[in-house]
Structure 1
Amino acid sequence: MEEHQEGAQEEQFEKKEELIRVTGMYKDWFLDYASYVILERAVPAIEDGFKPVQRRIMHSMKDLDDGRYNKVANIVGHTMQYHPHGDASIGDAMVQIGQKDLLIDTQGNWGNILTGDRAAAPRYIEARLSKFALEVLYSPKLTEWQLSYDGRKNEPVNLPVKFPLLLAQGAEGIAVGLSTRVLPHNFHELIEASILHLRGKKFKLFPDFPTGGVADISNYNDGLRGGKVRVRAKISQLDKNTLVINEIPYGTTTTSLIDSILKANDKGKIKIKKIEDNTAAEVEILIHLPSSISPDKTIDALFAFTQCENSISPLGCVIIDHKPIFLGVSEILRRSTDHTLELLKRELEIKLNELEEQWHFASLERIFIENRVYREIEEEETWEGVIRAIDEGLKPFTKHLKREVTEEDIIRLTEIRIKRISKFDIDKAQQKIEALEGEIAQVKHHLDNIVDFAVDYFKKLKKDYGQDRERKTELRIFDDIEATKVVIRNTKLYVNRKEGFVGTSLKKEEYVTDCSDIDDVICFTADGTMMVTKVDSKTFIGKDIIHVAIFKKKDKRTIYNMIYRDGKGGNVYVKRFAVTSITRDREYDLTQGKKDSKVLYFSANPNGEAEVVTVFLRQVGSIRKVKFDLDFAEVLIKGRNVKGNIVTKYSVKRIELKEEGVSTLKPRRIWFDETVKRLNVDERGELLGEFRGEDRLLVITQDGVAKTIKPELTTRFDEEMVVLEKWVKDKPISAIYWEPEKERYYVKRFLIENPDKEEKFISEHPDSFLEVISTDYYPVAEVVYTKPKGKERRENDEINLEEFISVKGIKALGNQLTTEKVNQINLLDPIPYEGQNEDEEDTEDETDSEKDITAEDIKSGEIKKVDKKSSSDGQPSLFDE
């Protein structure tokens, strides 16, 4: 019985089990959903630059507009008649429009784009349309209408926007399978670009962000896919231990920025003492640094490790003819401007038709009253007869009209009140007709010159609404920051040489140097193996480590001097090389690869130093010399893979350092790139000169501060700098400055007395200012005097400042320039100076700043001259025993 029941249940389940294919439904439904999100939610239309929710908000605000503020809650509720989504999405969209400060006049707490604070609840804040929005967004006679989602209301298909609004406000949206990100642009620049396009000229557009900051738009790519904009905070040095951020990158807030700085500090990338956020209407973030930390390096580190620098990828996607299309900002502006031109033309045509209708009826009314055509209807008894009588009465007088008289015109004439007929003034009627003719002529002129009319329209927008809309974001090409050069090294690196381990956790072993977790370590072992690996807690390199250091990429100045034995009893070779590029964690054999090869001597020289060593040989057989000196300066610097030159074919007992070496590299040639305001060794910008280890740069700023600094490539220079050159210790500096208390110009000449100290050489008075600065030996200044009333102006004086005043202390007041009133002071060409210092002599035209210097004369005797071609294969020997 039970088996029978189980069989019946299985049969019943088999009947119910059917295969339902959902492929078709999924395909259709998903496509419908994707299309809806793209077209009706996330992507703006090209015609007006609005997404549907934004368009419905602006339409609702026009419905409610009476010139007074409305509660945002009321506007949101009214918008829900058109928008098929909840109040939260409408409210958020409205706040975003209001924060852009263009279309909505806001009142109350609308949030803060700088701090990220949210707006107050919709019931507490108010809004109304701005005058700009009323002028450029609406024109009901041009608007195409459609039914709202429930069929109860009419809403605009697109608003007739007469301005490149999409580019002014920017847009972001994520749809299904695509996204859009149009960056905001400057109000004035958009108008100027529109005018240039109307006149058939080329233009360029670059983003301008409401948060300010600095942007590198070199890869903007016209806002197309694949482009990139780098944005940075504006950071300056308040004092030697304090940095201040006054503008933040687009897409960040002060809260997220501070969080990123604190995280970088916790991870040891940067080192700060504390951070203060004083942001209100303007951004002010103070970063206090420990006294041992360089402000310049910290600024670079902030850009490298925090949100102080961001990268934005624009993607111009808009809806055109119900399809998503990718366009660049230039094409968007061209289409928007052409659309504005068409809208202006259509408005003029509508206005012309209305004026011509007014003129037609005013003329018809005058004929009707002046010629008393109304009397013709006195005998008529039917309405048709009345119409016919008026029509017949008008015919003799309507030849000059621009169109035929219609029945509607006659009906309008019958509606004129008796009071109006009795008080009809022919002169006023004629004046009205003439005024209408003047307006018609003006509109026709505008239509005939529609481009000029559009240009004037854009100029009027700029004049009426362009106040306080200057560019906020500074455009500048950024310098590339190498993270390894600016990271704070807050971890210690250790080595176990015998066992072959390096790492940060080997605290009982030999300390090497401070490091960071993004550094690379270069290691050499006794068998001639080299490896570069990332800093870790513990890494095996190979037994008998002879050298460990932090690896610097593309470092041409660190030269490794090495003497090794080729195999167990082979020849001994010497080589010098740099390591500029490698593959991480790969072993490199610096010998010839034979078994039992061994490094006999090794040194790493950060500035290419070449020492002298003494080689001791084993007393074997008939060997005559068991000791000789080897000068590394006589060995050419080559690649790391070369065999090297033979030192000896005998067995080496030991090698000892005899004499410390000097650099065999040329002094570093340093350039200053005005574009990014940074030093470099890549030949970009102005050549400042050749620098040895002790050389310094002279920096003088507009506020009268002089200092000397070491030429470090991480140093940052601001706009206030007026002098940047190689410092010559005995070369005087000449300055003319205004002394407010004495109301006179003063001249002084001085030397930098304390190279490590920053000193102000003009008056401390806040109104004191530097007029002229020169570092020439014999500077000449021209003084142009003010013309006194009723007198002839004194002739200009040329003053040799070297004769005018002797060199005094940097704090000296100086000598009074003149008692006369001065109009201006010009710096003329200096008197030539014959006794040029050695440091200032023109350098050789040498493109490679780090070319090797080798001895011109090779020592005679035991050391013989070697043919470079044959030295690499060891034949003949460099040394002759």
Structure 2
Amino acid sequence: MQEENHEEINEEFGTQDTITKVTGMYKDWFLDYASYVILERAVPGIKDGFKPVQRRIMHSMKDLDDGRYNKVANIVGHTMQYHPHGDASIADAMVQIGQKDLLIDMQGNWGNILTGDRAAASRYIEARLSKFALDVVFNAKTTEWQASYDGRRKEPIDLPVKFPMLLAQGAEGIAVGLSTKILPHNFNELIDASIKHLKGRSFTLIPDFLTGGIADVSNYNDGKRGGKIRVRAKISQLDKKTLVINEIPFGTTTSSLIDSILKANDKGTIKIKQIEDNTAANVEILVHLPNGISPDKTIDALYAFTNCENSISPLCCVIDDNKPVFIGVSEILRLSTDHTVSLLKQELEIQLNELEEQWHFASLERIFIENRIYRDIEEEETWNGVIKAIDKGLQPHIKHLKRAITEEDIVRLTEIRIKKISKFDIDKAKQFIESLEEKIAEVKHHLANLIDFAIDYFKNLKTKYGKGKERLTEIRLFDDIVATKVVMRNTKLYVNREEGFVGTSLKRDEYVDDCADIDDVIIFRKDGVMMVTKVDAKTFVGKDIIHIAVFKKNDKRTVYNMIYRDGRSGPSYMKRFNVTGVTRDKEYDLTSGSKASVVLYFTANPNGEAETVTINLRAVGSVKKLKWDIDFSDLAIKGRSSKGNIVTKYAIKKIELKSEGVSTLKPRKIWFDETVQRLNVDDRGELLGEFKAEDRLLIINQKGIVKTVKPELTTHFDNDMIVLEKWIPEKPISAIYFDGEKERYYIKRFMIDNPNKEETIISEHPKSQLEIVSTDYRPMAEIVFSKRSLENMEVNLEEFIAVKGIKAQGNQLTTDKIKTINMLAPLPYEAIVIEDVEVNEEEVIDNENGETKNKSNDLNKNDEGQTTLF
């Protein structure tokens, strides 16, 4: 090895640095090592989908296979003849294959992918190849072999796998300079995709995980680099104070999930009372909530702050022709399917050759015995003479043969036993040859229709092994959860308005609101400056604070009404605006920018309210009108940087609130998207109606629980919900239910008296159940009796019973046994329509320059484009 040493003297410190240039064989060592790790350890091959250690494990299991279980320790020891690494890495790799429940038939404690429990020691557990593995993984006749690492044995270069094994099992590995992460896919869906590819049709592949859960694969990007999927636990509400997690996201265990929930609780981002882990064969984690904590909000918080939601970035890297390549899962499936077709063709060609060889020798044998050619060798004294005699005797009878006779064929004829010649049955020989001809014709037909044969092969795989391999992971589109909307606000925010400090440590000062560490705070000062800053223990934001609140990003419904004086003696302006997004810690001047401007009046209105105020001027000069009213609803909502409309050019003495305002915003249209079970304002799903601030949703579930809730977009809905609509307080609700205690059917009609209370409309007996519920004004029902002699009865529920209280038992429907109850079309009803007062539709255009357009009734404008009130 050559070395060049260079010494650099640092004059300031008097130290020496030595730089050594590495040359010779060391130049290639790192590259050799990186290539070895990529090709021989971390990345799977594209043909069979196995990493080298997995391939050697499968080959060893085939070596040992006799239909019985083998100790895993024995299999590991046998694999070490092929794999030049320790037994621990082989055992771990084998457990990972077994836990995917596809190739290995396991016996004993192989660990639990749900809880993360490890498998028992390899000396205690047993394994054998599954029937599926024996069917699709091995065929010595189509396998290419190479010498093992010590040259004593032969091992397969690739196993002849006739199935997209890589996509079924998935793969993950970290090499030198690259990594791979291929997600598992559903067994049956892979077969369907292979069939579609063979038929020339398009297909789409999406992951499926043994842990179940929910996944959003909208950005999967075919499993290529740059793609991402989001996976969530399946969480439902068991009761008012308990959530249950039944499925966990891929890449987590119940232990890691519970740890993340406990950490989030310690940080204060969520609030729970207790966690109970009842996981056995199936996941069951109970999350108990304290009093006053919303289950709906907690579900979103679990997704936002714990491992109940994770993002997975796939990276599809495989070995192809001894080189790593990055491709998509669709391309892997196409290549795998084409490789399967190639292997099937090889197997058919080998089978055809074997059948033709059988037919050839069976035909020779028949000729040899039937024509008694064996007698021609009786007089021959030499081996060559025997061969020539048999060859000469066969010549007149071999015109129908498909190939020429070789010396090897004749030698085989001489090995026929006398017993077989003496018992030779010509008819049986003919039947055997004819059966071979039928098989040959069948194989030739398969070769001529290779694609159809491959399709049938995949269909047969699905029939034999597809049962019990249905999709486990539910596919949904996830709505983005805004962390600040669901975080548990268990910290108190305080403000010192005069000195200009805000924070969570100012406990002696004025309390503002509950907040969380991730929240932002919006501050308005008397000098007309606004800023947004992050919650902290103590932050200086400027003196004379007139308004402070927890900031909601993209909030278009909170409207700020403001009157300010421009400069020391300038005119006063009024404006309405909202704040949807700003740069944190940047000061925004809401006035016209003149020095000594001051805010005279300010309100924050969470639902766009516009109040009326009284302006009082100072008595100056010849001004006659010193007092008048101004209605903020006459102004359009503009950008925060707009100058506003002139109130007066004279000095204002004071501004008084005359009357509270009502919302000037249009009612919101709200839709329900059944796919994701969420409300939205994006025109997805079923339109529930237009909602004002006071409107509510009516929800009734199969358990007979009735409640009304505010239509918040974060609300979660249970799967047993049977009624979801806009609640009309004056509209009666009709129900037919079976009382388990009295074993009779009852009809009741009621209206909700207390919208803030959740109530049950059936009795608490375990056999009680809700049969029919209707929110029609005049519902009709059909009663089908168990006795055939009784005719069906139509019931007008409006006439059957009057509207009573929600707790009333109702009237008994009948004493006869009922088979079924069916709802009929309701009778016509004309409701009295009370038209709402028309409100101004306001479209807010907010940008950094404050450029907006008036959308409502504008006031009179002067020559300078400003609006005057008098």
TM > 0.5: yes
Output aligned runs, 1:616-635, within 5 Å.
616-635=616-635
Hey, what does 2:799 align to over in structure 1?
A: 803
Q: Does 1:878 align with 2:869?
A: yes
Following TM superposition, by how much is the alpha carbon of 1:818 offset from its aligned partner in structure 2, in angstroms? 8.8
Alignment-mate amino acid for residue 244 of structure 1: V
Q: CA RMSD in A?
A: 2.8
Hey, what does 2:685 align to over in structure 1?
A: 685
Following TM superposition, by how much is the alpha carbon of 1:491 offset from its aligned partner in structure 2, in angstroms? 1.0
Following TM superposition, by how much is the alpha carbon of 1:722 offset from its aligned partner in structure 2, in angstroms? 1.9
Following TM superposition, by how much is the alpha carbon of 1:771 offset from its aligned partner in structure 2, in angstroms? 4.3
Moved more, 753-762 or 649-658: 753-762
* Aligned counterparts of 1:340 and 1:703: Cα–Cα separation in 2: 52
Following TM superposition, by how much is the alpha carbon of 1:798 offset from its aligned partner in structure 2, in angstroms? 5.4
Q: Is the 8 A contact 2:841 2:856 kept in 1?
A: no
Q: Is the 8 A contact 1:188 1:466 kept in 2?
A: yes
Hey, what does 1:46 align to over in structure 2?
A: 46
Moved more, 127-136 or 614-623: 614-623
Alignment-mate amino acid for residue 585 of structure 1: D
Hey, what does 1:278 align to over in structure 2?
A: 278
SS in 2 for 1:672: strand
Hey, what does 1:719 align to over in structure 2?
A: 719
* Aligned counterparts of 1:161 and 1:329: Cα–Cα separation in 2: 17
* Aligned counterparts of 1:627 and 1:24: Cα–Cα separation in 2: 96
Following TM superposition, by how much is the alpha carbon of 1:525 offset from its aligned partner in structure 2, in angstroms? 0.9
Output aligned runs, 1:393-472, within 5 Å.
393-472=393-472
Output aligned runs, 1:148-159, within 5 Å.
148-159=148-159
Following TM superposition, by how much is the alpha carbon of 1:230 offset from its aligned partner in structure 2, in angstroms? 0.5
Alignment-mate amino acid for residue 809 of structure 2: A
SS in 1 for 2:688: strand
Following TM superposition, by how much is the alpha carbon of 1:775 offset from its aligned partner in structure 2, in angstroms? 1.3
Output aligned runs, 1:665-814, within 5 Å.
665-737=665-737, 747-762=747-762, 764=764, 766=766, 769-782=769-782, 788=788, 799-810=795-806, 811-814=808-811
Moved more, 58-67 or 766-775: 766-775
Following TM superposition, by how much is the alpha carbon of 1:854 offset from its aligned partner in structure 2, in angstroms? 11
SS in 2 for 1:513: strand
Hey, what does 2:642 align to over in structure 1?
A: 642
Q: Does 1:834 align with 2:830?
A: yes
Q: Is the 8 A contact 1:747 1:817 kept in 2?
A: no
Q: Is the 8 A contact 2:749 2:810 kept in 1?
A: no
Following TM superposition, by how much is the alpha carbon of 1:23 offset from its aligned partner in structure 2, in angstroms? 5.0
Pair 1:414–1:61, CA change in 2 (3 A): same
Q: Flag structure 2 segments of 5+ consecutive residues without an equivalent.
A: 1-16, 847-851
Q: Is the 8 A contact 1:669 1:687 kept in 2?
A: yes
Following TM superposition, by how much is the alpha carbon of 1:448 offset from its aligned partner in structure 2, in angstroms? 2.3
| Cα offsets for 1:600-656 (capped at 9, x unmatched) | 111111122222323332222333233333332333322111111222222222223
| Cα offsets for 1:702-733 (capped at 9, x unmatched) | 33332211222211012221211111112122
Hey, what does 1:573 align to over in structure 2?
A: 573
Q: Is the 8 A contact 1:771 1:825 kept in 2?
A: yes
Following TM superposition, by how much is the alpha carbon of 1:393 offset from its aligned partner in structure 2, in angstroms? 1.0
Hey, what does 2:60 align to over in structure 1?
A: 60
Alignment-mate amino acid for residue 419 of structure 1: K
Following TM superposition, by how much is the alpha carbon of 1:20 offset from its aligned partner in structure 2, in angstroms? 7.0
Hey, what does 1:302 align to over in structure 2?
A: 302
Identity in percent: 73
Q: Is the 8 A contact 1:500 1:544 kept in 2?
A: yes
Alignment-mate amino acid for residue 149 of structure 1: Y
Pair 1:639–1:850, CA change in 2 (3 A): closer
Q: Is the 8 A contact 1:231 1:250 kept in 2?
A: yes
Pair 1:583–1:868, CA change in 2 (3 A): farther
* Aligned counterparts of 1:110 and 1:513: Cα–Cα separation in 2: 52
Alignment-mate amino acid for residue 545 of structure 2: I
Following TM superposition, by how much is the alpha carbon of 1:176 offset from its aligned partner in structure 2, in angstroms? 1.8
Moved more, 766-775 or 524-533: 766-775
Hey, what does 1:391 align to over in structure 2?
A: 391
SS in 2 for 1:533: strand
Following TM superposition, by how much is the alpha carbon of 1:814 offset from its aligned partner in structure 2, in angstroms? 3.9
Following TM superposition, by how much is the alpha carbon of 1:598 offset from its aligned partner in structure 2, in angstroms? 0.9
Moved more, 425-434 or 808-817: 808-817
Pair 1:739–1:290, CA change in 2 (3 A): closer
Alignment-mate amino acid for residue 94 of structure 1: M
Moved more, 391-400 or 226-235: 391-400
Q: Flag structure 1 segments of 5+ consecutive residues without an equivalent.
A: 1-16, 858-864
* Aligned counterparts of 1:369 and 1:362: Cα–Cα separation in 2: 11
* Aligned counterparts of 2:77 and 2:375: Cα–Cα separation in 1: 57
Hey, what does 2:374 align to over in structure 1?
A: 374
Moved more, 406-415 or 607-616: 607-616
Hey, what does 2:7 align to over in structure 1?
A: none
Q: Is the 8 A contact 1:642 1:872 kept in 2?
A: no
Hey, what does 2:860 align to over in structure 1?
A: 867
| Cα offsets for 1:394-426 (capped at 9, x unmatched) | 112222222221110110111111222222222
Pair 1:817–1:310, CA change in 2 (3 A): farther
| Cα offsets for 1:132-164 (capped at 9, x unmatched) | 111110000000000111111100010000111
Count residues with an aligned counterpart.
Answer: 848
* Aligned counterparts of 2:137 and 2:26: Cα–Cα separation in 1: 40
Following TM superposition, by how much is the alpha carbon of 1:463 offset from its aligned partner in structure 2, in angstroms? 1.8
Pair 1:319–1:654, CA change in 2 (3 A): same
Following TM superposition, by how much is the alpha carbon of 1:512 offset from its aligned partner in structure 2, in angstroms? 1.2
Hey, what does 1:816 align to over in structure 2?
A: 813
Moved more, 388-397 or 664-673: 664-673
* Aligned counterparts of 1:18 and 1:552: Cα–Cα separation in 2: 58
* Aligned counterparts of 1:846 and 1:422: Cα–Cα separation in 2: 107
Alignment-mate amino acid for residue 104 of structure 1: I
Pair 1:202–1:765, CA change in 2 (3 A): farther
Q: Is the 8 A contact 1:184 1:208 kept in 2?
A: yes
Alignment-mate amino acid for residue 54 of structure 2: Q
Moved more, 26-35 or 310-319: 26-35
Alignment-mate amino acid for residue 506 of structure 1: L
* Aligned counterparts of 2:255 and 2:546: Cα–Cα separation in 1: 48
* Aligned counterparts of 1:501 and 1:475: Cα–Cα separation in 2: 48
* Aligned counterparts of 1:590 and 1:695: Cα–Cα separation in 2: 34
Following TM superposition, by how much is the alpha carbon of 1:485 offset from its aligned partner in structure 2, in angstroms? 0.3
Pair 1:660–1:853, CA change in 2 (3 A): farther
Following TM superposition, by how much is the alpha carbon of 1:540 offset from its aligned partner in structure 2, in angstroms? 1.4
Q: Is the 8 A contact 2:785 2:816 kept in 1?
A: no
Moved more, 396-405 or 369-378: 396-405
Q: Does 1:593 align with 2:593?
A: yes
Following TM superposition, by how much is the alpha carbon of 1:165 offset from its aligned partner in structure 2, in angstroms? 0.7
Pair 1:855–1:846, CA change in 2 (3 A): closer
* Aligned counterparts of 1:443 and 1:114: Cα–Cα separation in 2: 46
Q: Is the 8 A contact 2:697 2:708 kept in 1?
A: yes
Hey, what does 1:5 align to over in structure 2?
A: none
SS in 1 for 2:142: coil
Following TM superposition, by how much is the alpha carbon of 1:173 offset from its aligned partner in structure 2, in angstroms? 1.1
Q: Is the 8 A contact 1:487 1:516 kept in 2?
A: yes
Hey, what does 1:4 align to over in structure 2?
A: none
Hey, what does 1:860 align to over in structure 2?
A: none
SS in 2 for 1:807: coil
* Aligned counterparts of 2:772 and 2:845: Cα–Cα separation in 1: 37
Alignment-mate amino acid for residue 828 of structure 2: P
* Aligned counterparts of 1:216 and 1:149: Cα–Cα separation in 2: 44
Q: Does 1:201 align with 2:198?
A: no
* Aligned counterparts of 2:198 and 2:837: Cα–Cα separation in 1: 53
Hey, what does 1:115 align to over in structure 2?
A: 115
Hey, what does 1:6 align to over in structure 2?
A: none
Q: Is the 8 A contact 1:738 1:745 kept in 2?
A: yes
Following TM superposition, by how much is the alpha carbon of 1:671 offset from its aligned partner in structure 2, in angstroms? 2.1
Following TM superposition, by how much is the alpha carbon of 1:183 offset from its aligned partner in structure 2, in angstroms? 0.7
* Aligned counterparts of 1:558 and 1:797: Cα–Cα separation in 2: 55
Q: Is the 8 A contact 1:170 1:183 kept in 2?
A: yes
Moved more, 678-687 or 813-822: 813-822
Alignment-mate amino acid for residue 390 of structure 2: I
Pair 1:307–1:855, CA change in 2 (3 A): closer
* Aligned counterparts of 2:369 and 2:742: Cα–Cα separation in 1: 86
* Aligned counterparts of 2:718 and 2:270: Cα–Cα separation in 1: 22
| Cα offsets for 1:746-785 (capped at 9, x unmatched) | 5443323442333333455555554443211123345667
Hey, what does 1:14 align to over in structure 2?
A: none
